Structure 1
Amino acid sequence: MLRGISRFLVAAQVLLYGAAGTSAVLSGQPPPPAPPAEIEADRHALVALYIATDGANWVRNEGWLTDQPLSTWRGVFTNPEGRVWRLELQVNQLTGTLPPEIGDLTGLVELDVIHNQLTGPIPPGLRRLASLKALRLASNQLVTGSIPIELGKLTRLDRLSLAGNQLTGPIPPSLGNLANVRLLWLSGNQLTGTIPPELGGLTSLESLSLGANRLTGSIPPSIGDLETLQILEISRNPGLSGPLPASLAGLHALDFLGITGTDLCVPRDAHFETWLANVNFDGERCPPPGPRQ
């Protein structure tokens, strides 16, 4: 039993810290520290974040700007090597803009700054965060520019939440490269243009929220390729129109479909009716066909 538990713990270390961390576990020693230059770069990036977002007036800023280990700074989490891997600064009265130095936190896995008062653009430098799995910028006031196409390079992302801001422009087709993303929330912005068919390549996607924008056109048939999709929320986009593509009736994992506040409709045929019987549906069915002449 103990031997099995030990093997499990080693396997867990492989997932969390990689081979170097595993070797340390097997030897009974802690993982070697990161090079001082990397830790210093993390510290410099955090200081830039503090200054750019008025850290002196955050709700919680204990430990920040001290010479203590970064793990003692409120909301900062480090891995065994001392690198910053998670930032949790949600609901903390951050104002101002995210500085470009945020892209220097190259060990970052999770960034959460939801429910603050951040303004300005999403820094393109985020593309350098190759290990990032969760990016939560929702419920701020990001008002300038559009969603950077560079976010499509963060191929390890499994959660991307940009909802509740004032982002403009189209949804970048490059987001279709996020093969591991399970949650994609872009609702409550001012996004325009059509829904990119490339989103149909997000084969791990479970929740897609595009509601309350200014999107136009129809639903691309490729959305029907999202076999793991459970939530499809595209309501309150008056410019969306037309019948849903037949491919959507193949989304057997879907639990909720929201199309209210659009000119989209569900075709009146037996295939769709059978499908809708197992879906929580908020929207309209297409008008019945008129009499044949």
Structure 2
Amino acid sequence: MQPLQYSYNNRKSEMLHIPLLGVSLVLLLFLASPASSCKEEEKTSLFEFLNGLSQASGLTSSWQNDTNCCLWEGVICNGDRTIIDISLAAMGLEGHISPSLGNLNGLLKLNLSGNLLSGGLPSTLLLSSSITVLDVSFNKLSGEFHELQSTPNSAMKVMNISSNFLTGYFPSTTLEGMKNLAALNMSNNSFAGEIPSTICVDKPFFVVLDLSYNQFVGRIPSELGNCSGLKVLKAGQNQLNGTLPSEIFNVTSLEHLSFPNNHLQGTLDPECIGKLRNLVILDLGWNGLNGKIPNSIGQLKRLEELHLDNNNMSGELPPALSSCSNLTTIILKDNNFQGDLNHVNFSTLSNLKFLDCRSNKFTGTIPESLYSCSNLIALRLSFNNLHGQFSSGINNLKSLRFLALAHNSFTNIRNTLQILSKSRTLTLVLIGGNFKHETMPDDDEFHGFENLMGLGINKCPLYGKLPNWLAKLKNLRALLLDDNKLSGPIPAWINSLNLLFYLDISNNNLTGDIPTALMEMPTLEAAHSAPIILKFPVYLAPFLQYRTTSGFPKMLNLGNNKFNGIIPPEIGQLQALLTLNLSFNNLHGEIPQSVGNLTNLQVLDLSYNNLTGEIPSVLERLHFLSKFNISSNDLEGPVPTGGQFSTFPDSSFFGNPKLCGATLMRHCNSADAVPVTDVSTEEYADKVIFAVAFGMFFGVGVLYDQMFLFRYIYFG
């Protein structure tokens, strides 16, 4: 057939072109389609699957009885009209997986991941002699994974059943017949029992085993050393104990070895570590390991990530660590490492992005060689014994966004701020717990901090006042100046920080009235706005490592100062507040009725002031209030009984002898009421004073932080 020639000068040719083109398209579709419809018995199996779904998303419009099922959405057939592939990932499917899919004798791949499917996993899929790839991850499958005697000729190569609610013991019998298995991912379920020693038997192609986020117990079987081709071995977030078997280190093909969050003990054997020349990721954090990092780690030339945090390891860092030139991440926090960091030549680690050595016993100064790591994004050396002044070399770190050096013995805060303020990249700076008894610089010479979102200069304690240069930090979201000796009033420019939503200036000597400017902060006024997210990846708990992002509470903490005057009625404008702490001041007058407008409030502490009058009944509207404290004031009248008030302990009301109510020792209208005994400030503070704090710090590939509500922690 000759190609159709089209000419703008030939109207007849133009008229013929459109219908001929349509015929051509139909012909092409016909040639691309199977010769005839799919097999009737396979269509029946698909309909049985469809009928088992309570929510089939868009499938019902595509899967029609009078159409060729080889053309249905997610279905692929071969030239013999046999279904070989079903891909229905993230389709919003709900319901059960029908066993009928196991009747598709030519099915090679089945992907139902990322849906809301529930019930058990049909045994017909596990016993299939044709399926090579089975992916049902990220669903709601449940029940025990029953032991099945799989067929000797099983074709299964990849099985991903992760992120479900499956229970029971390890299905060793089911897996024994899967001789071709290359990758098995059972992570993020509730499997229990011991890891069987037979898992590697007769599996010459086995390269990936992920058992993390389950409830496995016992020792790591030494027989895993028989998985000679294994590249990925992950079993973190379980309850494994004992030591790392030396046989595992014979698997020289390993690229990813990960056992964090278990109960492992012992040391890192120098001879064993040096064998894993192909290792890229080593993660043994959150265990009970002790001893040193062996010098043989320098032989791991491909190593990119080293995680040994939260163990009992000690000793100095080996100089050979500088030979691991591909390292991007070093996480050693919460150990007992010591010595001078200058023993490691960081200038050879040009790829380093994240260095976390928090809570160790390192001494000396920050290594100058560290400032050669031009790709460094996050540096965390808080809670060590470092000293000296900051070097201007830190400005060579053009990618640095997160800096946490709190609780060391650094000096000269003026010099520190002059250096750091020149950075155009810093997003978070935590330098509290240093500069002991120095004076907070208060001038306009600091220019920079253009992208700073979080600043912590707390627990120093610094003298001076709230510095005017803070008014320049227009991107600031969180400001921590607590536990200093700052004095004077809150400046009127505070409301110019339009993005500020977390302010902690507690435990200072600040005076004056609480300014109405503080009641005009835009991010605290927007009650129905979306939660503000600081883009710091988070470390919430050992079982959610480096995986999530968190919003921080909108908080105003002015506690333990010398503020006087009344609580401004305008406080009711801050309808987005989650935490309000005005405790331990000299405030007087009544609790404003407008506090009842703070309907998102979770924590309210007005204790240890000179407040009078009754507790406003409008506070019963605060349905999210979980912490409430008005102790040691001069309040009177009945305690409200509605809303959350029935849940608060008596200690919330101590030191107000004129209060009465069913939950107190003084009953209203009772002449025989027993007076409430006051308590000392020190005794009460030990029992009920609270602080809300947040920490921001980093982890694998990204920054992370930690947030504990109603629980006092240190920052950095």
Aligning the two structures, in what range does the TM-score lie when normalised by the shorter sequence?
0.7 to 0.9
Which residue identity does 1:146 align to in structure 2? F
Task: Tell me: higher relative CO, structure 1 or 2? Use CA pairs within 8 A at least 6 residues apart.
Answer: 1
- Closer, same or farther: CA 105–266 of 1 in aligned 2, 3 Å: farther
Is 1:80 equivalent to 2:76 in the alignment? no
Instruction: Please say if residues 139 and 165 of structure 1, whose CA atoms lie closer than 8 Å, have aligned partners that are also in contact.
Output: yes
Aligned partner of 1:9 in structure 2 is none
Provide the C-alpha distance between the structure 2 equivalents of 1:96 and 1:207, rounded to a whole number of angstroms: 30
Gaps of 5+ in 2: 1-33, 293-716
Provide the C-alpha distance between the structure 2 equivalents of 1:108 and 1:33, rounded to a whole number of angstroms: 19
Provide the C-alpha distance between the structure 2 equivalents of 1:243 and 1:96, rounded to a whole number of angstroms: 43
Please list, as runs of the form range in 1=range in 2, the aligned pairs for 1:41-120 lying within 5 A after superposition: 41-54=41-54, 57-120=56-119
Q: State the TM-score, normalizing by the size of structure 1.
A: 0.80
Instruction: Please say if residues 231 and 255 of structure 1, whose CA atoms lie closer than 8 Å, have aligned partners that are also in contact.
Output: yes
Deviation at 1:151, TM superposition (A): 5.2
After superposing the two structures, state which structure 1 stretch, 184-193 or 70-79, moved more.
Answer: 70-79
Which residue identity does 2:259 align to in structure 1? I
Can you list the C-alpha shifts for 1:223-268, whole angstroms capped at 9, x where unaligned? 111111111110000x201111111011111011111100124643
Which residue identity does 2:131 align to in structure 1? L
Instruction: Please say if residues 192 and 215 of structure 1, whose CA atoms lie closer than 8 Å, have aligned partners that are also in contact.
Output: yes
Deviation at 1:203, TM superposition (A): 2.3
Aligned partner of 2:211 in structure 1 is 210
Instruction: Please say if residues 147 and 171 of structure 1, whose CA atoms lie closer than 8 Å, have aligned partners that are also in contact.
Output: no
After superposing the two structures, state which structure 1 stretch, 176-185 or 147-156, moved more.
Answer: 147-156
Provide the C-alpha distance between the structure 2 equivalents of 1:209 and 1:241, rounded to a whole number of angstroms: 17
Provide the C-alpha distance between the structure 1 equivalents of 2:235 and 2:171, rounded to a whole number of angstroms: 17
Deviation at 1:153, TM superposition (A): 5.7
Classify the secondary structure of the residue corresponding to 1:156: coil
After superposing the two structures, state which structure 1 stretch, 262-271 or 79-88, moved more.
Answer: 262-271
Provide the C-alpha distance between the structure 2 equivalents of 1:216 and 1:178, rounded to a whole number of angstroms: 24
Provide the C-alpha distance between the structure 2 equivalents of 1:128 and 1:213, rounded to a whole number of angstroms: 24
Deviation at 1:200, TM superposition (A): 1.7
Deviation at 1:287, TM superposition (A): 2.6
Aligned partner of 2:189 in structure 1 is 189
Deviation at 1:67, TM superposition (A): 1.8
Is 1:222 equivalent to 2:223 in the alignment? yes
Instruction: Please say if residues 194 and 218 of structure 1, whose CA atoms lie closer than 8 Å, have aligned partners that are also in contact.
Output: yes
Which residue identity does 2:232 align to in structure 1? I
Instruction: Please say if residues 188 and 212 of structure 2, whose CA atoms lie closer than 8 Å, have aligned partners that are also in contact.
Output: yes
Which residue identity does 1:58 align to in structure 2? S
Provide the C-alpha distance between the structure 2 equivalents of 1:80 and 1:264, rounded to a whole number of angstroms: 54
Instruction: Please say if residues 93 and 116 of structure 1, whose CA atoms lie closer than 8 Å, have aligned partners that are also in contact.
Output: yes
Classify the secondary structure of the residue corresponding to 2:191: strand
Provide the C-alpha distance between the structure 2 equivalents of 1:75 and 1:212, rounded to a whole number of angstroms: 31
Please list, as runs of the form range in 1=range in 2, the aligned pairs for 1:151-190 lying within 5 A after superposition: 155-174=154-173, 175-190=175-190
Provide the C-alpha distance between the structure 1 equivalents of 2:210 and 2:151, rounded to a whole number of angstroms: 17
Provide the C-alpha distance between the structure 1 equivalents of 2:43 and 2:222, rounded to a whole number of angstroms: 47
Provide the C-alpha distance between the structure 1 equivalents of 2:143 and 2:153, rounded to a whole number of angstroms: 21
Provide the C-alpha distance between the structure 1 equivalents of 2:262 and 2:135, rounded to a whole number of angstroms: 27
Instruction: Please say if residues 147 and 167 of structure 1, whose CA atoms lie closer than 8 Å, have aligned partners that are also in contact.
Output: no
Deviation at 1:150, TM superposition (A): 4.7
Classify the secondary structure of the residue corresponding to 2:162: coil
Instruction: Please say if residues 95 and 116 of structure 1, whose CA atoms lie closer than 8 Å, have aligned partners that are also in contact.
Output: yes
Which residue identity does 1:215 align to in structure 2? F
- Closer, same or farther: CA 89–80 of 1 in aligned 2, 3 Å: same
- Closer, same or farther: CA 203–255 of 1 in aligned 2, 3 Å: same
Deviation at 1:270, TM superposition (A): 2.4
Is 1:121 equivalent to 2:120 in the alignment? yes
Alignment equivalent of 1:287, drawn from 290, 293, 299: 290
Instruction: Please say if residues 150 and 177 of structure 2, whose CA atoms lie closer than 8 Å, have aligned partners that are also in contact.
Output: no
Classify the secondary structure of the residue corresponding to 1:191: strand
Q: Comparing both structures, which one devotes a greater share of its residues to helix?
A: 1
Provide the C-alpha distance between the structure 2 equivalents of 1:93 and 1:44, rounded to a whole number of angstroms: 22
Aligned partner of 2:235 in structure 1 is 234
Instruction: Please say if residues 253 and 278 of structure 2, whose CA atoms lie closer than 8 Å, have aligned partners that are also in contact.
Output: no
Which residue identity does 1:219 align to in structure 2? I
Is 1:272 equivalent to 2:272 in the alignment? yes
Provide the C-alpha distance between the structure 2 equivalents of 1:68 and 1:51, rounded to a whole number of angstroms: 17
Provide the C-alpha distance between the structure 2 equivalents of 1:154 and 1:259, rounded to a whole number of angstroms: 33
Instruction: Please say if residues 122 and 148 of structure 1, whose CA atoms lie closer than 8 Å, have aligned partners that are also in contact.
Output: no
Instruction: Please say if residues 254 and 276 of structure 2, whose CA atoms lie closer than 8 Å, have aligned partners that are also in contact.
Output: no
Among all aligned residue pairs of Structure 1 and Structure 2, give the percentage whose two residues are the same amino acid.
24
Q: State the TM-score, normalizing by the size of structure 2.
A: 0.34
Q: Comparing both structures, which one devotes a greater share of its residues to strand?
A: 2
Which residue identity does 1:114 align to in structure 2? S
Provide the C-alpha distance between the structure 2 equivalents of 1:189 and 1:204, rounded to a whole number of angstroms: 25
Classify the secondary structure of the residue corresponding to 1:143: strand
Is 1:131 equivalent to 2:130 in the alignment? yes
Deviation at 1:177, TM superposition (A): 2.6
Provide the C-alpha distance between the structure 1 equivalents of 2:127 and 2:240, rounded to a whole number of angstroms: 35
Provide the C-alpha distance between the structure 1 equivalents of 2:171 and 2:88, rounded to a whole number of angstroms: 27
Provide the aligned length of Structure 1 versus Structure 2: 254
Instruction: Please say if residues 47 and 65 of structure 1, whose CA atoms lie closer than 8 Å, have aligned partners that are also in contact.
Output: no
Instruction: Please say if residues 91 and 114 of structure 1, whose CA atoms lie closer than 8 Å, have aligned partners that are also in contact.
Output: yes
Instruction: Please say if residues 76 and 87 of structure 1, whose CA atoms lie closer than 8 Å, have aligned partners that are also in contact.
Output: yes
- Closer, same or farther: CA 267–156 of 1 in aligned 2, 3 Å: farther
Instruction: Please say if residues 182 and 206 of structure 1, whose CA atoms lie closer than 8 Å, have aligned partners that are also in contact.
Output: yes
Which residue identity does 2:290 align to in structure 1? P
Instruction: Please say if residues 225 and 251 of structure 2, whose CA atoms lie closer than 8 Å, have aligned partners that are also in contact.
Output: yes
- Closer, same or farther: CA 220–54 of 1 in aligned 2, 3 Å: same
Rg larger in structure: 2
Gaps of 5+ in 1: 1-31
Deviation at 1:176, TM superposition (A): 2.9
Provide the C-alpha distance between the structure 1 equivalents of 2:229 and 2:86, rounded to a whole number of angstroms: 29
Q: Name segments (4+ residues, structure 1) moved above 6 Å.
A: none
Provide the C-alpha distance between the structure 2 equivalents of 1:137 and 1:151, rounded to a whole number of angstroms: 18
Can you list the C-alpha shifts for 1:167-224, whole angstroms capped at 9, x where unaligned? 0001111213322111100000000001111112232111110000000011111111
